[in-house]
Every structure is written in structure tokens, then in C-alpha cells.
RNA sequence: GGGCCGUUAGCUCAGCUGGCAGAGCACCGGACUUUUAAUCCGGGUGUCCAGGGUUCGAGCCCCUGACGGCCCA
């Protein structure tokens, strides 16, 4: 028996023992009178002002995170969502409930009822008169002093991470407060929170590849949204003058430090506003969030001290590229010419890159890393931005900005294009570019949206904020998966081997007398694309061979 | 894509020049009425990431691969 099984079995036996004693190890309810924070506060108040004449006993609940058993008295550390405190179990005070200790393990949920006292050492404590098991744990918690360090396990079993690591717990509390504060900020400015569809006939509104799914009843292919932009603008057209949506966006692309295939955005649209108004909204909001949540507008990130206090620097995009890369993009308005200049300064480009993509690479390589202090990069080439309005005086540019903090893009905003004729032309340009540059992502033409704009759309300022990026910034994390509770991960080695072994067993049970070569082929076909791509032929053959031998021996 | 580092008990980690696989926590058995990572006595529970090679002998050396971390593109 492995040690893992032993832990489980010992605890499972305790569950049985409790049942034999007529105790439900998983009772439906328990009446608690105080959260741990409330109990601590109550005791502090009593200590200050004296105990009431008729003192109530309290009951608190929580997970057992520590046990110090001294024979006829035991001290338990209890933790609930509000805090941690000590409970004392004395044999002479708890009677039969004292026996519960024999079936108690770290990680169990317990309720205790009794007086609030300070022990000899001054520790706030519930002096239990009764105790009840509220939920037995069958697995041991991670190591109590060092916590859980293994990154894979932390991310795959976030609950264990949260149990073991206080900083992780606090980080996700902060994220939640961040979202709540953004809502308050937008609500306070008269914005209406709306909900728009996630399943769409056309995934438009951004340059990204969508996830594809199937609606059975309609026999229709649907796409998960890659932005909330187009529907929110339809709200503006409909007369909801200020709207926003906080929600999940899905983009079918790779995973890395700053990209999870599903992420949270806050998009907002405001009629009669332009991108200058939106800049001021963003800097005001982020400064306010920092003051409210962190108590300061300066934050430490990646070794830099960043001040998010408004106003943020405005930096013209063309000037920025000129300064940081020495290239005037207006002097190289075609892809071949720009690519040539970029090669000269050592930026990796390909024959197929579109002009817009080249500019994007220049930005990413040469400009963005320098945008450590909060900066709005202003006025983007029209090729990169089909939904923004042309700049009235800068030919070839649109009124668009992106906000950067710590070299990270945190928002994207435009003065929205509200001319339906030009909007159609811009979408058509995107479709043409898609034909020319098959590997790149372009926006898609959405007829329903164009119809909406044709009804007449007011001048509008629009904004998209990456909530995950903000959460990273505010919590000092360098990867998005540390601010997403359950991030997507590729398969672990164990999971891969398990998938292979399962496929082998499946084929073996179906066709036990196959030749070996045919057998490998069938197993390989059974594997998911992800596993098939990564398992080596040698590894597959070894595992199949082993299973083959095991089976022959069994027969 | 490239470089460096790592993968050993449930968890956190040692393991020297190749020679019986280790510690702390956790766990199991026992003692203990005021502990705070309780303490004391006894017990090591393992696919050393996988496979192959060298060797009398491999956790350690070599090769291939998987997974992960960091750095660079």
C-alpha cells in the first residue's frame, strides 16, 4: 500500500468509526452564532468593557489547521473565511464529545460551542462545552510550515493552494475587490451594466481566432465571443448612452505568461465622448482603484516603482517608434519597405507579415518594453484598427490609444467609427487582408452590426480593459495564471501517461488478439491530438508492450 | 525556437568521489490538564520523472524523451 492510500484509508476508517458511534461525519447543518472574526471582536470588546452579566456562549466553525493534544486537554486551531482562532477541548468539560479527538484529523471541519476566554498565555480561545464534526477530510492538507510550493499542483489543485498559502488567498480576495471597485466606479459615473451574448453567429470585434461550438437544436455552428464590442455599440445605438460589461472573452490562441485562452475584460461605451474623454476615465479609474485597494498610487512591479497617479503620459505612436526604433513608419507605408528597415535593426520579420503586423511587432519589440510608467500610446495606423474613427488631421491614422503600465498593455480604446459606409469598407478591407495573409487574424464582417450602425450611431468613446492584467499589476504577479483561480494548463506528464495507458487498455480489451503493429496503430488513433502529438513512439511502444505482456501472463 | 536549472516519501527538501534511500512536517502506536510549528518515547511509509546505455554495482555518469521553472528570442 502506498502512503497516499494509507492516509486515505486511515481517515476513511475514522469516518466509519464515527458512523458506528451514531455520529454523522457530514451533517447537513450546524448552528454557528459567530464567525471567527466576530468571536474575536466580541472577546476584545468584553476585555475592554467587562463581560455582560449574562454571558452567552458562542459557537464557531472552521477547518482544523492545528492540533496540540495534551491528553486530557487539547488545543485546536480553527480557521474560517474570516480568520483563525484557538479552540480548547477539555475532557472534564466536553464529556462524550472529547472522544471526537480520536477521529479528528488536520483538515476536518469542526464546530465548537462554549465560553470565550483568554488562556493562561493570553490566547483568545473558545473553551468548548461541546464539539461536532462538520465535514471529515480524507486527504491530508499540504505541509503547514512551507505551504504548497509545487507550481503544477498549486495551479491544478487551487483549493490546496488556497488552504496552504495565505498570500494566494489574499491575492484572489484583492482581485475580487478590484472587480467590485470597477463596478462601483462605472456605476457611479452613470454607466449601465449590461450582459451581451457569449455564443455568436459571427465572432467579430477584434483580431483573434474564436473557439467554435455547435448548437444541436439549430444545427448551427456558433462561436464564443472574442470581444463584447459590437453588441455594446448596438446598446449605444439603441439609446443606452453609457454601458459597460465585465465578462469572459475567449480567444483560441496559445497559453503563456500573459495569455489565458479565456480572460476577463471590462468594455465600456459612452455616447458623445471621444478617446480623450476615455483617457481621462482610465487614468482616473486606475488611480482611484490603487488608492482604494492598496492605499497608495505607487506600486512595485518587476523591480520598478510605478506611479499610476493621473495624468498619464500621452505618447504619439509614430513618434514613439521613431524614437525607440529609429524608423518613421510614414516613410515605409508598404510591407516590403518596412520589413526591410526592420531587418536592418534586427527585428525578426517574415515575407508574409502584413504592414499592420509589422508595426505591431515594432511596438512589441522596441516600444512597449520602455512603457514602464503609465503611458497612453496614441493614434494608431488605420490598417490595424477597423472599428476606430479616422483622425481628422493625421492621414492614415485613427483615434485609438492603448494604455501601458510596466510594459504591459492594460487597455485599448477608440473614438468609435460611426459611419456605416466606411465601416463596411473597413470590414471588407479586413476580409481582403485575410485572403492575403492567411496565418494572421483579422476582424470579421458582421452584417447585424452594420445594420445597427445604419440606424444611426452617435459619436462614441469606447474602452476595453484587461482585468487580469490589472490584477497582475495590483498584486505584483508576473504571470496571468497567478491571478486566475483555475488557469488552463497543458497536460502534466502523469496525465499524459494515464491517457496513453487508458487507450492501450481500451484497445486491448476490444481486440485482444491483434498483431503488435496493428495494435500500436489503433492505440495511436485512440489518443487525443494533444497526447498523440507529445507522446514519443518509443514511449508508446514500451507501454503497449508492457500491457501486452501483462495480458498474456494473465491468460 | 535557444540557453541554464530542476523532477527523490503525502508536503518541504538533503543525498559528497558510483557502494544498504535520508531529514523536518504529516502519518501510525504510546505518554501528557494550558499549548501556540506543543513536547517526549517508538515506527520510514519510496515506480528516486520515463526509457535505454556504461558498470560487479546507478538517485548520482552517458544518451533519448516527457514535464516544469528561470532567462533570452
Please, which contacts does A88-91 make with residues 24 or more away whose CB atoms are closer than 8 Å? A88/A114, A88/A117, A88/A119, A88/A125, A88/A126, A88/A127, A88/A128, A89/A128, A89/A131, A90/A127, A90/A128
CA of A493 to C1' of B50 (A): 9
Per the structure, the residues numbered 134 to 193 in protein chain A that have their CB within 7 angstroms of any atom of strand B are 140, 142-153
Contact between the CB of A478 and strand B at under 7 Å: yes
pLDDT at A337: 92
3 state SS of A448: helix
Q: Residue A68 CA to B4 C1' — how many Å? A: 45
Sheet containing A212-215: give its strands across: A199-200, A220-224, A212-215
A91 touches strand B (CB under 7 A): yes
CA distance A372 to A360: 18
pLDDT of residue A498: 76
CA distances from A37 to A122, A135, A191 (A): 17, 21, 35
Q: Which nucleotide is nearest to A155 (CA to C1')?
A: B68
A502 CA, B59 C1': Å apart: 29
A8 C-beta less than 7 Å away from strand B: no
Residue A426, C-beta contacts closer than 8 angstroms, at least 6 positions apart? A382, A386, A387, A417
- Mark residues 241-300 of chain A whose C-beta is closer than 7 A to nucleic acid strand B: 257
Between residues A74 and A347, which one has the greater pLDDT? A74
Q: Which residue is nearest to nucleotide B49 (CA to C1')?
A: A493
Torsion of CA A86, A87, A92, A96, to 10 degrees: -150
Residues 6+ apart with CB under 8 A from A482: A168, A171, A472, A475
What is the biggest distance separating any 2 CA atoms in chain A, rounded to whole angstroms? 89
Q: Which DSSP symbol is given to A15?
A: H
Among A229, A225, A198, which residue's Cα sits nearest to residue A385?
A: A229
Does the CB of A488 sit below 7 A from strand B? no
pLDDT at A6 over 80: no
A120: nearest nucleotide, CA–C1' criterion: B34
**Is the CB of A129 within 7 Å of strand B?**
no
Highest mean pLDDT among A9-13, A94-98, A174-178: A174-178
Q: What is the band of A548 on the pLDDT scale with cuts at 50, 70, 90? A: low
Q: Is the CB of A12 under 7 A from strand B?
A: no
Q: What span, in angstroms and rounded, lies between the C-alpha atoms of A484 and A262?
A: 10
What does the pLDDT look like over A346-403, one tens digit per residue?
888 888 888 988 998 899 888 998 899 999 999 999 988 999 999 999 999 999 999 9
Question: What are the DSSP calls for A137-190, one per residue?
Answer: -SSPPSPTTT----HHHHHHTHHHHHHH-HHHHHHHHHHHHHHHHHHHHHHHTT
b/e per residue A111-126 (b: at least 16 CB within 10 A)? bbbbbbeeeeeeebbb
Residue A423 has pLDDT above 70, yes or no: yes
- Is the Cβ–Cβ distance between A423 and A382 less than 8 Å? no
Residue pLDDT, tens place only, A426-456: 999 998 988 888 878 888 999 999 999 999 9
Q: Is the CB of A122 under 7 A from strand B?
A: yes
Q: What is the pLDDT of residues A113-163, one digit of tens each?
A: 999 999 999 999 999 999 999 999 988 887 777 778 888 888 888 888 888
Contact flag, residue A303 CB and nucleic strand B, below 7 A: no
The region of weakest confidence among A56-65, A404-413, A532-541 is A532-541
What nine digits make up the cell of A322?
A: 521613431
Evaluate if residue A67 carries a pLDDT over 80.
yes
Tell me the CA–C1' distance in angstroms for A487 and B58. Answer: 39
What was the pLDDT predicted at A29? 95
- The answer to whether the beta carbon of residue A118 comes closer than 7 angstroms to any atom of strand B is no
The predicted pLDDT at position A512 comes to 61
Distance of C1' in B33 from CA in A25, Å? 27
The model's confidence at residue A515, banded by pLDDT at 50, 70 and 90, is low
* CA triple A14-A113-A97, angle to 5 deg: 35
**For chain B, which bases have at least one atom within 7 A of a protein Cβ?**
9-13, 24-28, 31-39, 44-47, 49-52, 64-71, 73
A387 touches strand B (CB under 7 A): no
Separation between Cα atoms, residue A160 and residue A143, nearest integer Å: 10
Cα A313 to Cα A371, A403, A411, A454, distances in angstroms:
10, 10, 14, 36
Q: Is the pLDDT of residue A514 over 70?
A: no
CA of A38 to C1' of B32 (A): 33
Q: In angstroms, how far is B69 C1' from A409 CA? A: 25
DSSP A245-271: EEEEEE-----BTTB-SEEEEEEEEEE
Tens-digit pLDDT profile for residues A299-353: 988 888 999 999 999 999 999 999 999 999 999 999 999 998 988 888 888 888 8
- Give me the DSSP letters along A185-203: HHHHTTPEE----SEESS-
Cβ A411 vs Cβ A465: under 8 Å: yes
A538 CA, B64 C1': separation in Å? 10
- CA A1 – CA A5 distance, rounded (Å): 6
A 338-367 residues, CB < 7 A, strand B: 348
Contact A534, A555 (CB under 8 A): no
Spatial contact of A86 and A123, defined as CB atoms under 8 Å apart? yes
- Residues A448-488: pLDDT tens digits? 999 999 999 999 999 999 999 999 999 999 889 999 999 88
Mean pLDDT computed over A15-22? 91
pLDDT value of residue A455: 97
Round to a whole number and report the distance in Å from the CA of A323 to the C1' of B71.
27
A552 touches strand B (CB under 7 A): no
Q: Report whether A91 contacts A131 (CB < 8 A).
A: no
Tell me the pLDDT band of A255, cut-offs 50, 70 and 90: confident
Tell me the percentage of chain A whose pLDDT exceeds 90: 62
Residue with smallest Cα–C1' gap to B28: A10
Find the Å distance, CA of residue A532 to C1' of nucleotide B62: 28
Q: How many CB atoms lie within 10 A of CB A538?
A: 8
Residue pair A417/A382 in contact (Cβ under 8 Å)? The answer is no
| Confidence band, pLDDT 50/70/90 cuts, at residue A550 | low
Mean pLDDT of the region A182-206: 96
Residues 6+ apart with CB under 8 A from A544: A504, A516, A519, A520, A523
Mean pLDDT across chain A: 90
Strand partners, A256: A259
Q: Nearest 5°: phi and psi at A130?
A: -150, 155
CA atoms within 13 A of residue A104's CA, in its CB half-sphere: 26
Q: How far is the CA of A346 from the C1' of B3 (A)?
A: 20
A533 touches strand B (CB under 7 A): no
Tens-digit pLDDT profile for residues A197-244: 999 999 999 988 899 999 999 999 999 999 999 999 999 999 999 999
Could you tell me if A290 and A296 are in contact, meaning their C-beta atoms sit under 8 angstroms apart? yes
d(CA A368, CA A128): 59
Contact A414, A387 (CB under 8 A): yes
Amino acid at each position: 500500500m502506498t502512503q497516499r492510500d494509507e492516509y486515505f484509508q486511515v481517515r476513511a476508517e475514522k469516518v466509519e468509526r464515527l458512523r458506528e458511534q451514531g455520529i454523522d461525519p457530514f451533517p447537513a447543518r450546524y448552528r454557528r452564532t459567530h464567525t471567527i472574526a466576530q468571536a474575536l471582536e466580541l472577546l476584545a470588546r468584553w476585555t475592554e468593557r467587562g463581560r455582560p452579566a449574562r454571558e452567552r456562549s458562542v459557537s464557531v466553525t472552521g477547518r482544523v489547521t492545528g492540533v496540540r493534544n495534551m491528553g486530557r486537554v487539547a488545543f485546536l486551531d480553527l480557521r474560517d473565511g474570516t480568520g483563525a482562532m484557538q479552540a480548547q477541548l477539555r475532557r472534564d468539560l466536553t464529556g462524550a464529545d472529547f472522544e471526537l479527538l480520536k477521529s479528528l484529523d488536520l483538515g476536518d471541519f469542526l464546530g465548537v460551542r462554549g465560553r470565550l476566554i483568554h488562556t493562561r498565555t493570553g490566547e483568545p480561545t473558545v473553551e468548548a462545552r461541546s464539539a461536532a464534526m462538520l465535514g471529515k477530510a480524507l486527504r491530508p492538507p499540504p505541509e503547514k510550515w512551507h505551504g504548497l510550493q509545487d507550481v503544477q499542483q498549486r495551479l491544478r489543485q487551487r483549493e490546496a493552494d488556497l488552504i496552504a498559502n495565505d498570500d494566494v488567498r489574499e491575492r484572489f480576495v484583492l482581485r475580487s475587490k478590484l472587480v467590485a471597485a470597477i463596478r462601483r466606479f462605472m456605476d457611479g459615473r452613470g454607466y449601465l451594466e449590461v450582459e451581451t451574448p457569449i455564443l455568436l453567429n459571427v465572432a467579430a470585434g477584434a483580431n483573434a481566432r474564436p473557439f467554435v461550438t455547435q448548437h444541436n437544436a439549430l444545427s448551427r455552428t456558433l462561436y464564443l465571443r472574442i470581444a463584447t464590442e459590437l453588441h455594446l455599440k448596438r446598446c449605444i445605438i439603441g439609446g443606452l448612452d453609457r454601458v459597460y460589461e465585465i465578462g469572459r472573452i475567449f480567444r483560441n490562441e496559445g497559453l503563456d505568461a500573459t495569455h489565458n485562452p479565456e480572460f476577463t475584460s471590462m468594455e465600456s461605451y459612452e455616447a458623445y465622448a471621444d478617446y480623450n474623454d476615455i483617457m481621462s476615465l482610465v487614468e482616473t479609474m486606475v488611480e482611484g482603484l490603487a488608492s482604494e485597494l492598496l492605499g497608495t498610487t505607487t506600486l512595485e512591479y518587476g523591480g520598478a516603482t510605478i506611479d499610476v497617479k493621473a495624468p498619464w503620459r500621452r505618447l504619439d505612436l509614430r513618434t514613439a517608434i521613431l524614437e525607440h526604433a529609429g524608423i518613421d513608419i510614414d516613410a515605409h507605408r508598404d510591407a516590403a519597405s518596412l520589413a526591410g528597415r526592420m531587418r536592418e535593426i534586427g527585428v525578426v520579420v517574415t515575407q508574409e507579415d502584413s504592414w499592420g503586423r509589422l508595426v505591431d511587432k515594432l511596438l512589441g519589440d522596441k516600444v512597449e518594453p520602455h512603457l514602464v510608467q503609465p503611458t497612453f500610446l496614441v493614434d494608431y495606423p488605420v490598417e490595424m484598427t477597423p472599428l476606430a474613427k479616422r483622425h481628422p488631421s493625421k492621414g492614415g491614422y485613427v483615434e485609438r490609444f492603448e494604455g501601458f503600465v510596466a510594459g504591459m498593455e492594460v487597455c485599448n480604446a477608440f473614438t468609435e467609427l460611426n459611419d456605416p459606409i466606411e465601416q463596411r469598407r473597413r470590414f471588407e478591407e479586413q476580409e481582403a487582408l485575410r485572403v492575403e495573409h492567411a496565418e494572421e487574424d483579422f476582424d470579421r464582417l458582421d452584417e447585424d452590426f452594420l445594420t445597427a450602425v445604419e440606424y444611426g450611431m452617435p459619436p462614441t468613446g469606447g474602452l476595453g480593459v484587461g482585468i487580469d492584467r490589472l490584477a497582475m499589476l495590483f498584486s505584483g504577479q508576473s504571470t496571468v495564471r497567478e491571478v486566475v483561480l483555475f488557469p488552463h494548463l497543458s497536460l502534466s506528464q502523469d496525465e499524459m501517461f494515464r491517457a496513453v495507458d487508458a487507450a492501450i487498455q481500451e484497445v486491448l480489451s476490444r481486440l485482444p488478439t491483434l498483431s503488435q503493429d496493428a495494435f500500436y496503430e489503433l492505440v495511436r488513433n485512440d489518443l487525443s491530438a494533444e497526447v498523440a502529438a507529445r507522446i514519443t513512439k518509443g514511449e508508446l511502444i514500451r507501454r503497449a508492450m508492457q500491457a501486452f505482456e501483462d495480458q498474456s501472463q494473465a491468460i
